[in-house]
Amino acid sequence: MRQRASTLLIALAAVSALGLTGCSPASVTPSASSTPVSGGTLTYASGDAEPSCLDPHVGGNYPQALIATQYLESLVSRNDKGAIIPWLATSWKESADGLTWDFTLRDGVTFTDGTPFDAAAVQANIAHVQDPATGSSTGYLALQKITSTEAVSPQVVRLHLSAPDSALLESLSQVWVAMESPTALKRTQDENCASPVGTGPFMVTKWVKQDSVTLVRNDDYTQGPADSAHTGPAYLDSIVWKFIPDSASRYAALQSGQVDVIDNAQPDTIVQAEKSDQIAHLDAPRPGASNRIELNSGKAPFNDPLVREAFIRSANIDAAVKSLFFDTTKRSTSALSSAEALAVSRPDLFGYDPDQANQLLDAAGWTKRDADGFRVKDGKRLTVVFPVSTNQSIPAEQSLFEQLQATAKQTGFDVQLTPMDLSSWYGALAANDYNAVSAPYTKVGPDVLRILYHSDGITPAPSGYFANLAQVDDPKLDALLTQAAKTSDPDARADLYTKAQNRLLEGFYLLPLYDQQNHYLYRTTVKGLRALPTVSTPTFYDAWLAA
Amino acid sequence: MSELEVQATLSRGERSRSRGRRVTPFEVLAVVVALFLLVAGLLPGLLAPGDPLGIDPAAAFQPPSPAHWFGTDESGRDIWTRVVHGAGTSLVIGFAATAIGLGVGLVLGTIAGMLGPAVDFSVNRLLEVLFAFPGLLLALLFILIFGPGVWTATVAVGLSASPGYARIIRGQLLAVRRSSFVEAATVLGRTRRQLLLRHILPNTLAPLFVLGTLGVGQAIVWASALSYLGLGAQPPAAEWGAMLSAGRTYLTTAWWMSFFPGLVIVLTAVAATVLGRAIERRARYA
């Protein structure tokens, strides 16, 4: 009896799961008024992993950047043309030799705990990011060239560099090196992770783990980055920042009006939303690297360039992108995001060509096939271990990997996809237990190439994460990237990055897929929402809710 | 059992004999479903000649049609083909898990029932501890330790069902042990081994057939539940729970991706339950 009852119960649960469909609420007439109104609580639902620390100095991933953009501010920002604009710093000056930078800070800014924002605060923040105890990876790598800091006056801070850094301003615009209260930073890391204190338009007041973070307006706020639509405090009273990892539930919550904005929207829901007059779409591809599959050249079988090229030639990415993404994105053949002006695209290198793939594998000595049709050499199967982070790859991307697995099988690759949660995935990478991996990396500007493909990136950052997952170890490429990072002349810099990208792409270390997808869907009652042109995180400073 | 009780039992059996033997339409349907699953499991190519993993991106997200009876999924794989080929996985999981559950349950139950009060006491306390956790939770714990996959899920489901079997087997064993024919055999000087193998176990195992039939259905549902959670069969394997999970993402745009795998899970569970009850009724009144 017990058994039968539970069988039926589970069967019932399966049936009710099937019955779950999105229901559209009654139609709402969009407000004709375009004058912002203050007040109201906006609910945001994130599909990214819930951060384990709300201070983006620690570690430094995109989920942290999404939320920290609401309460932390950087020295500089970037406008939609890609130019660096003032934020907490009003002006800056590079010395002739490129080794010292002076930043003049905005007057009268205080952190939300009352601590004044001054040169000493900037010093404390850079020291915090560079302190190995903080365990920073993204911020740490971005500020690697800063050797020391100096308070010239309370309003002027001087940075000393080990080498000229053409990417310094771009690096400083990122939320992973945003300014936090030095008083708050003195607390234990656990305390600071739970309630970081910044100068931003909102402040963290409550964090219910596995559920939501509550952000309340900072009433003393005076102005945002130079391209903001208004000055003074934000319009919204508060933001409830929820975590809804399941994409179907997230979209259903948006449809029903339980939440106002969602991120990580699925391609099929974007197409659906675009037909709706209640939901709008904000597409903000992330800067930095494209979404790509890194081939681990540090170990077999991808230590052989022929096998790497064969793998790339046996992947039918174009067909997969077309079937899974419904024209919400385009195929990329570049290591960099299309948001980067210096991106080099090489469609000639990444086309689907199974015949050529077969020839390459034959040439590489993988001539025999086993009973399952996979190629073997010296008794070993041609296996590609591919850990997939289910937190970072949306279902459509996971399906794309399955299609890749199916097409690569025809040429004899045994692609072993293993879906994992974020911490197991980091663990697999740290243990070098992968042959292929898709790892998003966001950084403002082409300097991301140095972080991802310079041989220095094989050495782990203090957090234990190493960014050069393709394990590219090419002295000529290193030289080009190092030189480019030192060069501030725009033409010479562009030339160096072009050469570096061509060398990288021709080495078949990576398989570009598309831009890092960053689609927000929001109810049309939300006005004034935009993505910050630094790392494309949404900012709610100018946002307001229409009645 | 007194004579009066025996007579009462007999007359009750007499009255419901005709009802017990009549085949209901539900039972016919259940047999049809079971036969279909058996054919699908043993000879999937007969019902669906295609490749369950073969992709065709150009034919993705097609609704049910004469060409694709159950529609296609996000990679253009035919869902009918995948459902049919998934039957084998589900049946193997269902039977293997039930076998594991019954096997472990039989060993524990026999130990408890045969080796005296001290052992009985210890085994019972162990079973009580295991009963304190819902079965699926035990399975989740097992998977957490040994990692996701079809075989860990099968073993996990089997193990988490075993305390239930063990307790039923123990009870049955104790009842049989006290019956007069066993007493007679004891008096005749049979050894404990002879008693167990020749008299007790054969009479204990009959009800297990019913339990097993019910258990296969439950095991299939549990294994699907684990795959749905991403802990059993891994994508792109043609497994019902995994397919249901993959389809969930596209529930609002491509309902057929989750509807048909869900339907067969429900049909399988219901068919196993109906069949198990039918066998139980016949076994009791035969």
Q: How far is CA B63 from CA A6, A326, B55, in A?
A: 33, 16, 16
Q: One-letter amino acid identity for A296?
A: N
Nearest residue on chain A to B212, judged by CA atoms? A3
Nearest residue on chain B to A421, judged by CA atoms? B230
The Cα A48–Cα A64 span in angstroms is 9
Q: What is the pLDDT, as a whole number, of residue B20?
A: 54
Query: Do the beta carbons of residue A167 and residue A68 sit within 8 Å?
Result: no
Average pLDDT over residues B213-217: 87
Q: What is the pLDDT, as a whole number, of residue A69?
A: 97
Q: What is the pLDDT, as a whole number, of residue B58?
A: 87
What does R_g of chain A's alpha carbons equal in angstroms?
A: 24
Q: What is the pLDDT, as a whole number, of residue B107?
A: 92
Average pLDDT over residues B121-141: 87
| Angle A371-A377-A382 from CA coordinates, rounded to 5° | 70
pLDDT, tens digit, for every residue of B163-175?
989 988 888 888 8
Q: What is the pLDDT, as a whole number, of residue B284?
A: 65
Query: Do the beta carbons of residue A207 and residue A195 sit within 8 Å?
Result: yes
Taking the CA atoms of residue A225, residue A227, residue A233 and residue A235 in that order, the dihedral angle to the nearest 10 degrees is: -130
Q: Which residue has the higher pLDDT, A314 or B189?
A: A314
Query: Do the beta carbons of residue A268 and residue A399 sit within 8 Å?
Result: no
A21: chain B residues, CB-CB within 8 Å: 251-252, 255
Nearest residue on chain A to B268, judged by CA atoms? A11
Q: What is the pLDDT, as a whole number, of residue B203?
A: 82
Q: What is the pLDDT, as a whole number, of residue B21?
A: 67
**Lowest-confidence segment of A100-109, A507-516, B57-66, B178-187 by average pLDDT:** B178-187
Q: What is the pLDDT, as a whole number, of residue A383?
A: 96
Q: What is the pLDDT, as a whole number, of residue A492?
A: 95
Average pLDDT over residues A338-364: 94
pLDDT, tens digit, for every residue of A402-459?
999 999 999 999 999 998 888 889 999 999 999 999 998 888 889 999 999 999 999 8
Q: Pick the residue of B253, B258, B267, B268 with the most A CBs within 10 A to test the interface with A by mutation.
A: B253
Q: What is the pLDDT, as a whole number, of residue A82?
A: 84
The Cα A7–Cα B266 span in angstroms is 10
A7: chain B residues, CB-CB within 8 Å: 214, 217-218, 221, 269, 272-273
Q: Does the beta-carbon distance from B277 to A4 stay under 8 Å?
A: yes
What is the average pLDDT score of chain A? Answer: 91
Asked if the model's pLDDT at residue A374 lies above 60, the reply is: yes
Give me the residue from A2, A7, A268 closest to B273, CB to CB. Answer: A7
Distance from the Cα of A420 to chain B's closest Cα (Å) equals: 9
Q: Does the beta-carbon distance from A324 to B258 stay under 8 Å?
A: no
User: Helices B256-285 and B25-42 meet at what angle, rounded to 10?
Assistant: 120
Nearest residue on chain A to B266, judged by CA atoms? A11
Give me the residue from B53, B221, B270 closest to A406, CB to CB. Answer: B53
Q: What is the pLDDT, as a whole number, of residue B116?
A: 83
A390: chain B residues, CB-CB within 8 Å: 230
Choose the CATH number for B94-231+250-284 among 1.10.3720.10, 3.40.50.800, 3.40.50.300, 1.10.10.10: 1.10.3720.10
Query: Do the beta carbons of residue A454 and residue A443 sit within 8 Å?
Result: no
* Residues pairing with B185 in the sheet: none
Residues of A with CB under 8 A from a CB of B: 2-4, 6-8, 10-11, 14-15, 17-18, 20-22, 246-248, 251-252, 266, 268-269, 271-272, 316, 319-320, 322-324, 390, 395-396, 398-399, 402-403, 405-407, 417-419
**Lowest-confidence segment of A334-338, A463-467, B101-105 by average pLDDT:** A463-467
Average pLDDT over residues B90-102: 91
All domains of chain A in start order, with CATH = 41-284+519-545 (3.40.190.10), 290-515 (3.10.105.10)
pLDDT, tens digit, for every residue of A276-299?
899 999 999 888 899 999 999 999
Using alpha carbons, select from A340, A291, A293 the residue that is nearest to residue A441: A291
B214: chain A residues, CB-CB within 8 Å: 3-4, 7
Q: What is the pLDDT, as a whole number, of residue B121?
A: 92
User: B2 falls in which pLDDT band (50, 70, 90)?
Assistant: very low
Query: Do the beta carbons of residue A74 and residue A215 sit within 8 Å?
Result: no
Nearest residue on chain B to A272, judged by CA atoms? B253
A322: chain B residues, CB-CB within 8 Å: 57
Q: Does the beta-carbon distance from B214 to A7 stay under 8 Å?
A: yes
In this complex, how many residue pairs, one in chain A and one in chain B, have their CB atoms less than 8 Å apart? Answer: 123
Q: Does the beta-carbon distance from A14 to B234 stay under 8 Å?
A: no
The Cα A13–Cα A381 span in angstroms is 42
Asked if the model's pLDDT at residue B15 lies above 70, the reply is: no
First to last CA, chain B: 20
Asked if the model's pLDDT at residue A168 lies above 60, the reply is: yes
Residues 6 or more apart whose Cβ sits within 8 Å of residue A438 = A291, A292, A293, A294, A388, A389, A392, A393, A397, A401, A513
Q: What percent of chain A has pLDDT over 70?
A: 94
Query: Do the beta carbons of residue A241 and residue A212 sit within 8 Å?
Result: yes
Q: What is the pLDDT, as a whole number, of residue B40?
A: 92
Asked if the model's pLDDT at residue A28 lies above 70, the reply is: no
Q: Pick the residue of A6, A23, A274, A323 with the most B CBs within 10 A to test the interface with B by mutation.
A: A323
For A184, the token pair is 């708050």
Asked if the model's pLDDT at residue A6 lies above 70, the reply is: no
Q: What percent of chain B has pLDDT over 70?
A: 92
Q: Which residue has the higher pLDDT, B117 or B207?
A: B117
Give me the residue from A10, A323, A395 closest to B60, CB to CB. Answer: A323
Q: What is the pLDDT, as a whole number, of residue A523?
A: 96
**Lowest-confidence segment of A9-23, A151-165, A210-224, B265-279 by average pLDDT:** A9-23
Average pLDDT over residues B62-90: 93
Asked if the model's pLDDT at residue B236 lies above 90, the reply is: no
Q: Does the interface ipTM go beyond 0.85?
A: no
Q: What is the pLDDT, as a whole number, of residue B13?
A: 46
Q: What is the pLDDT, as a whole number, of residue B276?
A: 86
pLDDT, tens digit, for every residue of B152-161?
889 999 988 8
Average pLDDT over residues B36-51: 90
User: A33 falls in which pLDDT band (50, 70, 90)?
Assistant: low
Q: Does the beta-carbon distance from B75 to A10 stay under 8 Å?
A: no
